[in-house]
Structures are given as C-alpha cells and as structure tokens.
Structure 1
Amino acid sequence: MKRREAIQQAALMMGGLLSAPTLAGAMGRITNTGPSVVVTAEQETLLAEVADVIIPTTTTPGAKAAGAEKFIVRVMRDCYPKKDQDSFYAGLAKLDASSKTKFGKGFTELDLPQKNEMVKQTMTDDKPFFLRMKELTTTGYFTSEIGATKALEYLPVPGQFNGCMPLKPGQKTWAL
C-alpha cells in the first residue's frame, strides 16, 4: 500500500476518531469565542511545508496545493482554546528550531529528505504536536475541493443509495 492510499484509508476510518474541535472546524462551526493566537505569514508557510510532507504531491495534488494550512489556521483559531493553540504553535516553533540546530537552516529551507527526517524525528520527540498536525492536515486535505475531487472518487449529484457497492480494482475511495 502506498503512503497516499494509507492516508486515504486512515482519513475515512478517522470519521469517529477526530477530536471534537477538528470535527467542529470541518463543519464550519466556531466553538472558541475567547482569545486566539495571531498567526504570522511565516508560521502559515511553515504549516504548509509540514502539511506537504504529511500529504505530498504525487499523481494528485498534495496538502499544500489544497491549502490545508489555511484550514489548520482557521480551525485552531475558531475551535481550539488558546492554551491548545499555544501548545500547537510551540510545537511548530520547536520543529523549526530543531531544523536550525540539526541542519543550520529553518524547516522551509530544507530539502525533501531533510524535511522527512525532521518530521520523523517530531513523531517521537513531540508526538502530541505531530498527531494534532496530522489530524488537521488530513481533515483539511480531504475536506478540500482538491482532496475530495482529485484524491477521492467524487459524484457531485449522487443517484440512488446502494449501501454495498463493490469497488473496481484501482478505484479510489468515495468522497463523503
């Protein structure tokens, strides 16, 4: 199974496993009415680069092309309390700082193998940040137009409901 296929299957299985704030954000709700972290352009660029390592461009556009970073910023601002936002953006800063320590340059300036290495390192060094980043990236990607129409099978006007339809070999999973 290829990485993209694994992420697609995981995204479909995560339907019941998404955190409440992420699920609220995917539905366009605002649950955080308190203060929020102000995100800089540099942080947004860094989010886009990390998301693009999680879901890279292959035969279909990746997370960066889908604008997953904009989804992440919006959901963090609108659905997570400030304490969680501070923790998340501290994890992002830690990833960038670790890149500077290890390679002498920020994460956005690294080449792809170095970015992959830093994300793998973050999976163990800062697992809570990585899991939240992965959850937000996959949700943002598969709820975007690109994710729903390019990575998943999409039928804009569905016909009758067939609860048990076999998939043809190589057919993409259906978008919901």
Structure 2
Amino acid sequence: MDRRKSLKIIGGSAIGIAGLVLADWKWQLADQLTHKGFFTFNEENLISSIVDTFIPEGLPPKVPSPDAKPLGGLSTGTDKFLYRLFEHCYEKETQDIVKTQLVNLDERSKSEFGKPFYRLPQGDREKLLISFENSEIEDEVNFFKLMKSQTIMGFTTVKEVMENYRGYKVAPGYFKGCVDMPSQA
C-alpha cells in the first residue's frame, strides 16, 4: 500500500470538489449580478415565496398512486408561469402595481421580522399575506387577490395536476379499430 499515492488522490479529489463548489457559487453570484428579465432577481424570489406560501409542497389527501411525488407550487413551475404571465399578459398599470406591492411586501417583512420575505418561515409569510388581504389599502387587497387567483389557476392547469388528480384526458375520443363489422350480401 502506497500511502503517498493515496494521500495525493484524496487531496486532489478534495481540491476538485472544492473547486466545483466555488465555480457553482461564482455562477450563482454572476447570475444575480447580471440578471436580465422583466422582474429583478429579488422580485422573482418574492414571487416564488408567495407561490410556495399559497401552495406548499406536499401530498394531497387523495393520491393517484402509492408512489406519487409531493406536489407544490414550486415543483410544478407555477412561479415561472407567473413571471411570464405578468410580463406578457398584463397591462403596464397592473405590472407596476405588482412590482410596487412586491417591494411593499418585502419592506413590511423587513420592518416586522427583520428578514426579507423569502427567508421567513411559512407561518410568518402567511401572516404577512393575510395582512394584505385584510388591508384598508385597495392596491394591497387587489395584489393579494391577483396573486392568489393566478397562483391557483397556474397550479390547477399544470399537466401533472390535470391528468393525475382531475382526470383530464388529452384526446378523450378513443379509436377502436378492431370492431366487428356485419357482412352485407
């Protein structure tokens, strides 16, 4: 047994793994700094957190099969749907309200809990969103209703939910080509 050779291999492996972790961290940092899109990186995190608050990941009461995976707003891509929905399907006024209320939500989170909204536990995020629902300010109530309705719509129209839980069939008219035909003389 050659200990030096073994130590070289172990050391090289450790340095290689550390290098991969550093490279991944560098790419995440570069993505945050050079993020180009309709929403900023922070706003996308806020929307993802709102989606996760409305529809957290878990198994529904009725599962279609014993090996069903937990479903949630993030695992079905509802947050990505909302990014594009607000960017492409809403007028500028509504887009401005959404962006303003996202900033408002994050500022309120920092003032009440000392953390950004997307770093809060589930219960605190729920409290903040309920405070928007019960608010006296019309824009906050409209923001809550819009986010809730579009999150639910985005989640319930996803392929996994439609096929596995709602019984949707893409082409329900079945073709049965092996049907006996009576012979005519």
State which drifts further: 113-122 or 150-159.
150-159
Residue 135 (1) aligns with residue 145 (2): no
The CA RMSD over aligned residues, in Å, is 1.8
Instruction: Give the deviation of 1:159 after TM superposition.
Output: 4.2
Q: 1:48·1:67 contact (CA, 8 Å) conserved in 2? A: no
Aligned residue type for 2:54: I
Partner of 2:10: none
Residue 47 (1) aligns with residue 57 (2): no
Distance 1:42 1:142 in 2: 26
Residue 103 (1) aligns with residue 113 (2): yes
Instruction: Give the deviation of 1:151 after TM superposition.
Output: 4.1
- In our comparison, the structure showing a higher alpha carbon Rg is 2
Aligned residue type for 1:55: I
Instruction: Give the deviation of 1:105 after TM superposition.
Output: 0.3
Q: Could you state the TM-score of these two structures normalised by the residue count of structure 1? A: 0.64
Q: 1:100·1:106 contact (CA, 8 Å) conserved in 2? A: yes
In the alignment, which of 79, 82, 106 is matched to residue 92 of structure 2?
82
Distance 1:132 1:38 in 2: 18
Instruction: Give the deviation of 1:149 after TM superposition.
Output: 3.2
Q: 1:131 to 1:41 in 2, by over 3 A?
A: same
Structural mapping, 1:2-151, within 5 Å: 38-59=38-59, 60-125=70-135, 126-151=140-165
Instruction: Give the deviation of 1:156 after TM superposition.
Output: 3.9
Q: 1:101 to 1:131 in 2, by over 3 A?
A: same
Q: 1:38 to 1:147 in 2, by over 3 A?
A: same
Q: Could you state the TM-score of these two structures normalised by the residue count of structure 2? A: 0.61
After superposition, the C-alpha distances for 1:26-55 in whole angstroms (9 at most, x for unaligned) are xxxxxxxxxxx8211221121111011111
* % same residue: 29
Instruction: Give the deviation of 1:120 after TM superposition.
Output: 1.2
Greater relative contact order structure (CA < 8 Å, 6+ sep): 1
After superposition, the C-alpha distances for 1:77-102 in whole angstroms (9 at most, x for unaligned) are 11111111000111111111111110
Ranges in structure 1 where 5+ consecutive residues have no aligned partner: 1-36, 161-176
Ranges in structure 2 where 5+ consecutive residues have no aligned partner: 1-36, 60-69, 175-185
State which drifts further: 128-137 or 116-125.
116-125
Distance 1:66 1:113 in 2: 22
Aligned length: 124
Distance 2:95 2:165 in 1: 29
SS in 2 for 1:66: coil
Q: 1:46·1:107 contact (CA, 8 Å) conserved in 2? A: yes
